[in-house]
């Protein structure tokens, strides 16, 4: 029970640190013979600088999570895209020739049976050929369906993995960096306020 309470309190570390900073600030004012106006200006300047740096750090980490780049890389990319710099453009052509069979060509030799026995034999041969072709077509169709099924299963799996990665990134951006941002904003506000007290 006590550990849960401690963990709950520590989750609000931005507020705890602000309370410690305020306590230290008041302690310095009360216990030492320091010029209050100068101390407040110094605390104000330091708090605003640290707060601004923390907010930039949080933005940088969020960009890193989303784009895989940091602010420095983004700035370099931005400067490289300056429109007045001339860039050499290389144009290359690629020719791809693909050969695929779209239809099976089948030729049947037709003979002209004379007797009834020959006609019956000929019909029997034709029935066997049709059965064989039908079985081949069914096998090809099964293979095509299996290949499509595998293809769509792989695509479905990749889509699920991608969605899970996106969900994790969104959660990291929205939840992970918010405490640092809040603390940075607290420092900025504290610095702005403490600069006015004498």
Cα separation of 51 and 39, whole Å?
Answer: 18
pLDDT greater than 90 at residue 144: yes
Mean pLDDT of 118-136: 91
76 found inside a domain: yes
Cα separation of 38 and 51, whole Å?
Answer: 20
pLDDT confidence of residue 148:
92
Q: Is the pTM of this model over 0.75?
A: no
* Residue 44 near residue 51 (C-beta atoms within 8 A): no
94 found inside a domain: no
59 found inside a domain: yes
pLDDT confidence of residue 105:
52
Q: For residue 111, how many other CB atoms are within 10 A of its CB?
A: 9
Q: Which of 127-131, 158-162, 194-198 has the highest mean pLDDT?
A: 127-131
Residues in CB range of 65: below 8 A, 6 or more apart = 169, 172, 173, 176
Q: How many percent of the chain have pLDDT more than 70? A: 77
Which tens digits make up the pLDDT trace of 5-20? 888 888 888 888 888 9
* Residue 69 near residue 63 (C-beta atoms within 8 A): yes
Domain residue limits at 33: 2-80+111-194
Number of domains in the chain: 1
Mean pLDDT of 164-190: 74
71 found inside a domain: yes
* Residue 185 near residue 18 (C-beta atoms within 8 A): no
Burial class (CB in 10 A: 0-12, 13-18, 19+), 41: middle
pLDDT confidence of residue 150:
93
Q: For residue 123, how many other CB atoms are within 10 A of its CB?
A: 11
95 found inside a domain: no
Q: 3-state DSSP: the chain helix, strand, coil percent, rounded to 5?
A: 75, 0, 25
Residue 90 banded pLDDT, cuts 50, 70, 90 = low
168 found inside a domain: yes
89 found inside a domain: no
pLDDT confidence of residue 86:
62
Residue 99 banded pLDDT, cuts 50, 70, 90 = very low
11 found inside a domain: yes
């Amino acid at each position: 029970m006590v550990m849960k309470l401690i963990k709950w309190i520590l989750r609000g570390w931005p507020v705890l640190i602000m309370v410690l900073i305020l306590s230290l600030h008041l302690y310095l004012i009360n216990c030492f013979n320091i010029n209050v106006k100068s101390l407040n200006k110094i605390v104000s300047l330091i708090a605003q600088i640290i707060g601004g740096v923390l907010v930039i750090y949080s933005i940088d980490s969020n960009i890193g999570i989303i784009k895989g780049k940091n602010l420095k890389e983004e700035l370099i990319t931005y400067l490289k895209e300056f429109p007045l710099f001339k860039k050499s453009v290389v144009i290359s052509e690629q020719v791809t020739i693909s050969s695929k069979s779209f239809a099976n060509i089948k030729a049947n030799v037709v003979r002209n049976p004379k007797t009834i026995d020959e006609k019956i034999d000929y019909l029997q041969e034709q029935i066997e050929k049709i059965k064989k072709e039908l079985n081949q077509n069914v096998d090809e169709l099964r293979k095509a369906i299996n290949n499509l099924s595998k293809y769509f299963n792989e695509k479905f799996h990749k889509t699920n993995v991608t969605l899970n990665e996106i969900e994790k990134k969104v959660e990291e951006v929205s939840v992970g960096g918010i405490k640092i941002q809040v603390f940075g904003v607290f420092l900025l506000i504290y610095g702005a306020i403490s600069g006015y007290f004498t």
